[in-house]
Structure 1
Amino acid sequence: MLTVGKMRKALVAHEQVIRRALTALFPSPDEPLSLDAIAMGVEEEDGEDLADMLLATLNQFGKVPHFISYLRARGADPVPLPRDRIFARNIARFTGIEIGEPLHPSFDLGALGDFAARAEAFRCRITLDDAAEGSGAFVAPNLVLTASHVLDRLFAPRADDSPAPRLGIIASDGERYPATCVQRWPYHDGEVNGALPPDGMAQTHVDIALLRVFMPLGQAYGCIDVSADPPDFVGPSMFTLVHYPEGRETGFVSGRVRRDGPGASRLPHDIDTAGGSSGGPGFDRDLRFLGIHQGRWQNVRRLVPYERFRDEPRFRALIEENSKLRFLWSLDRNIEGPLIIGRRQFNTGLAAMLEKPTSRLRGIWIRREDTNSIRGLGFSYDMLEAYLLLHERPDAVLPHRCIRISPSLRTTDLLADLAQLALEDDLAPEALPGTGDGQTTDVAHQESRADALMQAMQRRAEAKGQTWWVFFDNPPNGLSPDVQVQLEHIARHLPTRANLRLILAGYETYRLAPLRFGNVAEADTARRAGLLVEELGPFTRSDVEATINAMITSLSPEAELRPARLQEMTEMSLQGLVADATGEFSGKDLGTVAAQLRRQVKAFLGVDA
């Protein structure tokens, strides 16, 4: 149970992870919920602190289980079990098959504790008509791996016209989510009686299935790494099984498994499983993914080894398609979330910078056609955060940091403000030797301070192994002349630093000097670093088509979207709107288009409206 005391400890140890958790769990820009916003509601005179308010807020929105799963996936479990209580107690061993005694009969408890927290988050139950049918785990943002035979009832012939059972999962947050079967690889008929697949059929009959859910829960709650090499040992070894026997949530179970060498079609083990265990992932003594539990048919308990299906072409393609995201069509790849239409240049720029970190492309300048409108500027920061979050591995060191600064006429020292946000200290940046106050012109002095600050930020980011993205909001009432000079120096020096990126939202009337690129290809031949320019204005029919295509490709890449159907869906999404003489639609109509587009995609995918 998550208590206020445990929340206090989590805030001290994992504040940055908690900030990202709130961004992921509350992605809507219309209802943002950040740690800073929650802190503003703390009533200190009543004895409250941030931990009290944060836990109360999560309870109010029913997000405590989601919060715990998100933190567990990142090694920040707020309610960890003692290391010696991770494995379930008094679990009988199955003695129907000889395994042998492992050379190392125990686990590293430190590594096991970290693994257990992540496994608690990425595992799930498979359900048919809301009844637990098997176990599974996320292997990509939207994909769950389980055993093929868990779905036998779903695909069984029906004599009448009765509907097929409803397929779904119960995630680690306790919520039920509808699912579809993307691909199913069969088992051999003889396996029902405990036989092994005949020679030549073990590679095709691997008894696995991939299910798709329409929310990227694997991004939030973590995934099994199915890109790593399979374990390569011979003989008996300790292993652990992550499963739900009889659909019950139990502690992890340790046991022994035997691998007779490369090419083994199945791996026998001695954990006494039950109905509902099928599809659960097993891990070796070093906590590497070993395979999935196939079942307890006759006198056999065994795994389908990961090495048997790791390189299966269709399996690899589905994992890679779902793991790579180039076009951000929603802040969290949620079909119910805010949709993004008409931001292809922004998407392309972010993708290029992540794919080629050594490129001369070091940021994006978002410029409005109508400088009286602020539509899309602040949302660009939400897009930046979302894009970076969706490209992180939950179990890895955070590779990116976003720093948002909103200068205004009240700002007196932009460099000092940026230093406090980025370096988290109150020391104003000092000018380089020989360019101090009174030693040179004020413009040269401020440029030297800016250069020194960029050097300090680069050193800090490089030491942390991170890329820092500095986002400047458009000043609503302009900037003072002194602050404008500082901004010009920041825009000149920040893009020259390898670990720093600059995003400017607005600032069309300011004389900023960074090199500008019209497209990402221009950066490949550039001699110095610069920013990609995105013109923010009306949207077009092709923008709507691009969003529909991106949604279908992300949510159901196996679906065939024919040109005629795409045209029909586009027409229905734009129904009731009139383009101007150039074929463009007003940005004011984006809300209407998004609602109509969502209905079209749901109908195409067969998702309940």
Structure 2
Amino acid sequence: MVSRTDIEDAIRDDLVRAEQALKAIQGGAQPPVTLEALRPVAEERGMSLESMLADRLEKQGLLEAYGEALAGRETAAPMDRRVVDFSAFERVGKAAACRIVLGDNITGSGCLIGPSLVLTAWHVIASGAPGSVDPIREPISVLLADQTRRSVLKVSHYLSPCTIAEFANQFPANDADFVDCHDVALLRLSRPDGMRLNFLRVPDVAPRLPSQANVFVLDFPKGRPMGWGVGRVDPIVGFEARVPHDSATDGGSSGAACVNTRYELVGIHQGRWALARRLVPLARFHGPVMEQVRTDVAPRFLWSLTDTLDGQLVIGRDLFFEGVAEASRPGARVRGLRVSRLDVKAGTAGLAFSAALLENVLERDPGRHVLIRLGFDQPLQDLLGQVRRRAAEAGLTLEPDVAPEGARAGDTTPEAAAGDEARRLAQALDAAVLAKGPDRLLWFFFENPAAGLTEGERIAFEAFVGAALKQPRLRMVIAGFETISTPGAEFADAGAGVGEGPAGLVVDYVGHIKRREVEILVERAGRALQLDLGDVGVRQITNRALKNLPQQNGVFDIVHSVEIVAVVRERLAEWLDDQEDRS
């Protein structure tokens, strides 16, 4: 039994909660009575506001109903209504928020929630109603914060449609109508751009949405960046599938991440609801989304070959790491990389470093990878024989090679003889690797020939590359060789090699350094060294490293990499010393 004293105490303790409960028990077409409207009446009668309201409720026989409404409303704590260190959130929001493109039209907003996962609303990517034939049928891409337009590799990681009524701009009557209809889509990008930009972490437990808690909506109204929407939620007691909020949104806002004042994901904006807007709470789809987030593991991107400031620092080679990671996956179509210079006259900068990168990455899993480096400093009269000898030196046992009649040198053309020998050699290598273990891989690194290849070397090289691509346990990185065509598919990124199709190599172009790549190096180094750089520190170090260097639209020639790295290393060391002195 609820007493009048209980009601007065509850109103006095939390006016926001009292206001929400008062709205909840009123119905009909008339505007609801508010505490603000009752306040002058209470003053005129010489009563406190809580006594005035309790008196009216008691006379109308509504004390019990009001008590139930109070009990059902969780109001926001002070922290839920205050913004602390907005700049910290803005760094993530600006980088993680993105736009969804259907065909060539921006249809809504989204947000990176992992290295390669984008969260948005199902209706943003749908061309047909729920339950229709092939509702997700148009090409989908994502326009990222840095204006990169990235293709979507897969849309079926997690899809939960909206209700048929919602798709028709109507609204279901109760929670039961929303079962398994959360209006959520999880998209996988073709590259882990979240590691390059940033992504919003999904909390382990879905945060609550107490009444009047602030939310930020990371949206793009009408497809344009216009800042973030700020508003408050107003949950309806007994109705959990959708939550009203009052942030200003517009067409193009659907699918945007909604974040609380602790900068935690709490849901996604869905659309308008009468005079309010509505969001889908994270609690409705937290489980299946977290399953995908936990498996969205990006390749390891090195900032230093030794994980220290003394080691060689790495600028702008993310595609290389992505390619190696994808090639390391069992059954992958990507069988390695082809590192090509944008300007073959600019020397070998970037090519030789690729060998060090590959060796470093593979050494971190020595039980799985075997690496053989082959150079052409000295003419190789028998390239395939050299491959066989080096494999034996690496501990692989190969059966003696016997060329069948008609396939020996002199019995047929040089191309045919080399092709047949390369096929036998690749098969023998694959079998030898399998004998070492089912998950082992054999890598070849082909170093760029300073003086070019002889005709015999070219024929043998092309034959071996073509044969090796057909073997499931052989991998390769070809550094240079720009004037020589090789068999197999060429992939613009690691994601392009996912799915059915011929095996091939990811093409990684070297020659330019972008400002953003230097910033990423500084950010990664700062995290590894536990430096409190912030955005200002990152900009300061990057500006210093690139000062007075020739550029074109923020792009610098790779010949300046030594200068850039020297300044970055020096400034990071200074920052580290200063931080240690302060501690």
| TM-score band w.r.t. shorter chain | 0.3 to 0.5
Q: Normalised by the size of structure 1, how large is the TM-score?
A: 0.43
